[in-house]
């Protein structure tokens, strides 16, 4: 297994959820739109058309 690889059985065991139900929900749930994402450092939404700089 490589770092960052998803293991459905381990995720299901860690969350206490049914493997098939968890997989179904996560695979059909779309990611949030970019305007809802927030910066993990400052908590602000990304500025349009601005390239991300280095982390503080």
Total-model pTM: 0.43
Per-residue model confidence as pLDDT tens digits over 3-40: 677 788 998 999 899 999 988 888 887 777 766 677 77
Q: How far is CA 22 from the centre of its chain?
A: 15
Per-residue model confidence as pLDDT tens digits over 1-11: 456 777 889 98
What is the rounded CA–CA span in Å between residue 28 and residue 30? 6
User: Do the Cβ atoms of 37 and 46 come closer than 8 Å?
Assistant: yes
pLDDT of residue 28: 84
């Amino acid at each position: 297994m490589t770092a960052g690889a998803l293991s459905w059985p381990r995720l299901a065991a860690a969350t206490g959820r049914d493997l098939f139900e968890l997989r179904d929900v996560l695979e059909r749930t779309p990611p949030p739109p970019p305007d809802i994402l927030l910066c993990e450092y400052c908590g602000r939404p990304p500025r349009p058309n601005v390239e991300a700089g280095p982390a503080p």
